[in-house]
Amino acid sequence: MQINLTGHHVEITDSLRDYVDNKFTKLERHFDHINNVHVILNVEKLNQKAEATLHLHGAEVFATSERNDMYAAIDNLIDKLDRQVIKHKEKVSRH
């Protein structure tokens, strides 16, 4: 799985990159057909925004999250993506 991490108005530190990498390995445990991930971290005044697009085998999943803390926004983003990936996996396994 290839992770492209982009920052808008925020510096992508090593700890932030490691945090994102570790969180996305959790998703890969549920569904191993994740080809490519594009993550955008954005800071707008007091809001920390994280959004991601996952390119799965035969589908694309998108989620976004806004919090006061960037790490909390990433956690919430992973939870949303996790639910969508599990839903996609169930749909694929029915066919």
| Block residue for tokens 């569904």 | 31
Write the pLDDT tens digit of every residue in 73-84. 999 999 999 999
DSSP state at residue 12? -
Residue 32 has pLDDT above 80, yes or no: no
- pLDDT at position 29, please? 81
Average pLDDT over residues 23-38: 84
- pLDDT at position 34, please? 85
Evaluate whether 42 touches 54 at the Cβ level (below 8 Å).
Answer: no
Residue 70 has pLDDT above 90, yes or no: yes
Strand ranges inside the chain, DSSP E: 2-8, 34-44, 47-56, 59-67
Model confidence, pTM: 0.90
Residue 91 has pLDDT above 90, yes or no: no
Average pLDDT over residues 49-65: 92
